[in-house]
């Protein structure tokens, strides 16, 4: 009896027949997922250690030091466009080597800084290398899969575990070895992963842009509509992501002050939030492969609104439970943008489209890092949480613009590259 056919594509995609293509599995896939953890970890070490760094640099309040990290997040977005272009035209393997070794080298520079402006320069350089990951590694992972939701879900879990480990490892390293070690240790891990990747990742016979297309390009109007919606939703979700992941540590420190003031304990509690919330990406990845994407995306983003509003005045363990809940839906929304690109854009240009989306969305959402300290200092976390509810509502409205149905099956125009 022949095996049952795969479930129909209900994601709004241009369906294509399966064609043979080299798959990144085993050690290469593991290293690409570990790289996602490193990418998010390195960008959030500063937010977790900002109190200790402020004390070391003689800055009176952590809020006054937060704007110095804005350059890292701005470059994380702005450098995505050239990174994606190089990934498609030069090669994704080569760009991932630049990522691993660049992240390691820039983390060592951060650990050597002695003033806020030196710190800002080193963090900005780190942001430029961190920008390589999403437009290069994710297309590399999904270029041959028939189940992009599952692959993206696992990859998203890896990235968010990096966020969780940033909270845990940074809290412990700051407590026992100082804030500089919190940058050096993961930097060494990145360099070691770069060496391993150079050994196990096969060399590409041709860059993606030179390979034969695997799916028919959709009408320009449809592509433009999808890119516009993705840009709007990515910008809103990027603002929510940056406000929460950079501010949650201080939020817990303020709202759980009656429970603990130990930085290592706060780090462990914050890591718990991210570990539990990260599991949502596995569930979402499974759902994306089976159910209409637009309805799923809309429901997950809309749920953020009441959860942020409930957290406005919450304290203690009630706030902690709500933090787990709203971060589960924040993380759960992340796989959709990459899944939409996989469904609508051929592999030969996915790095460029992803890079374009990240450049606009993350370039704008970097403002969250710049504004976080001054905003909390002036208006408090209650105002910030209400603002996050409003931003999530705007994102939900933008999702309504996604095409509701697939444009129909499309045939590949040539053999796989």
Asked whether residue 22 carries a pLDDT value surpassing 80, the answer given is no
- Buried b / exposed e along 78-96 (16+ C-beta atoms within 10 A): bbbbbbbbbbbebbbbbbb
The answer to whether 68 and 117 have CB atoms below 8 angstroms apart is yes
How far is Cα 19 from Cα 144, in angstroms, rounded to an integer? Answer: 8
The answer to whether 154 and 33 have CB atoms below 8 angstroms apart is yes
How far is Cα 12 from Cα 9, in angstroms, rounded to an integer? Answer: 7
Q: Count the Cβ atoms, other than its own, within 10 Å of residue 309.
A: 17
Q: What is the pLDDT of residue 151?
A: 86
How far is Cα 404 from Cα 13, in angstroms, rounded to an integer? Answer: 10
Q: Count the Cβ atoms, other than its own, within 10 Å of residue 204.
A: 17
The helix (run of H) or strand (run of E) holding residue 287 is helix 263-288
Which residue ranges make up each domain of the chain?
A: 26-200+219-399
Q: What is the residue-averaged pLDDT of the chain?
A: 81
| Chain segment 229-270, per-residue pLDDT in tens | 888 888 898 889 888 888 888 888 888 877 776 767 877 888
Residues 6+ apart with CB under 8 A from 365: 73, 77, 234, 235, 238, 239, 241, 242
Q: Six-digit token pair at 415?
A: 């053999």
Confidence of residue 8 (pLDDT cuts 50, 70, 90): very low
What's the alpha-carbon Rg for the chain, to the nearest Å?
21
How far is Cα 299 from Cα 333, in angstroms, rounded to an integer? Answer: 9
Asked whether residue 281 carries a pLDDT value surpassing 80, the answer given is yes
| Chain segment 35-68, per-residue pLDDT in tens | 999 998 998 898 888 888 998 888 888 878 888 8
Q: What is the pLDDT of residue 13?
A: 41
| Chain segment 200-238, per-residue pLDDT in tens | 988 877 666 666 555 555 566 777 787 788 888 888 988
Q: Does domain 26-200+219-399 have CATH number 3.30.160.20?
A: no
Q: Six-digit token pair at 281?
A: 């990406």
């Amino acid at each position: 009896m022949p095996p049952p056919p795969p479930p129909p594509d209900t994601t709004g995609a241009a369906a294509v027949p399966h064609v043979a293509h080299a798959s990144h599995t085993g050690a290469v896939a593991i290293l690409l997922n570990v790289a996602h953890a490193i990418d998010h970890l390195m960008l959030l070490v500063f937010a977790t250690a900002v109190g200790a760094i402020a004390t070391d640099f003689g800055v009176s309040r952590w809020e006054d030091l937060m704007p110095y990290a804005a350059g890292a997040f701005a470059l994380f977005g702005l450098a995505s466009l050239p990174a994606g272009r190089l990934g498609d035209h030069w090669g994704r393997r080569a760009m991932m080597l630049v990522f691993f070794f660049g992240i390691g080298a820039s983390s060592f520079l951060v650990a050597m800084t002695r003033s806020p402006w030196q710190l800002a320069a080193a963090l900005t350089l780190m942001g430029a290398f961190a920008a390589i990951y999403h437009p290069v590694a994710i297309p590399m992972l999904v270029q041959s899969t028939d189940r992009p939701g599952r692959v993206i879900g696992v990859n998203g879990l890896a990235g968010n575990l990096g966020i969780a480990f940033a909270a845990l490892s940074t809290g412990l390293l700051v407590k026992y070895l100082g804030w500089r070690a919190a940058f050096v240790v993961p930097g060494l891990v990145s360099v070691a992963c770069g060496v391993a990747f150079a050994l196990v990742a096969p060399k590409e016979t041709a860059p993606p842009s030179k390979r034969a297309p695997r799916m028919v390009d959709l009408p320009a109007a449809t592509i433009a509509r999808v890119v516009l919606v993705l840009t709007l939703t990515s910008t809103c979700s990027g603002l929510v992501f940056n406000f929460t992941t950079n501010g949650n540590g201080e939020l817990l420190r303020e709202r759980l002050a009656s429970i603990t003031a130990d930085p290592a304990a706060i780090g462990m509690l914050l890591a718990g939030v991210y570990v539990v919330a990260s599991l949502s990406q596995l569930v979402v990845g499974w759902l994306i492969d089976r159910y209409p994407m637009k309805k799923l995306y809309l429901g997950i983003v809309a749920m953020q609104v009441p959860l942020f509003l409930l957290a406005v005045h919450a304290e203690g363990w009630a706030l902690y439970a709500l933090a787990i809940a709203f971060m589960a839906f924040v993380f759960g929304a992340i796989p959709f943008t990459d899944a939409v690109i996989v469904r609508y854009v051929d592999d030969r240009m996915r790095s460029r489209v992803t890079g374009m989306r990240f450049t606009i969305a993350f370039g704008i959402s970097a403002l969250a890092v710049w504004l976080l300290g001054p905003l909390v200092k002036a208006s408090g976390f209650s105002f910030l949480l209400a603002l996050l509810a409003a931003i999530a509502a705007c994102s939900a409205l933008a999702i309504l613009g996604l095409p509701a149905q697939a444009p129909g099956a499309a045939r590949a125009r040539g053999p796989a590259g």
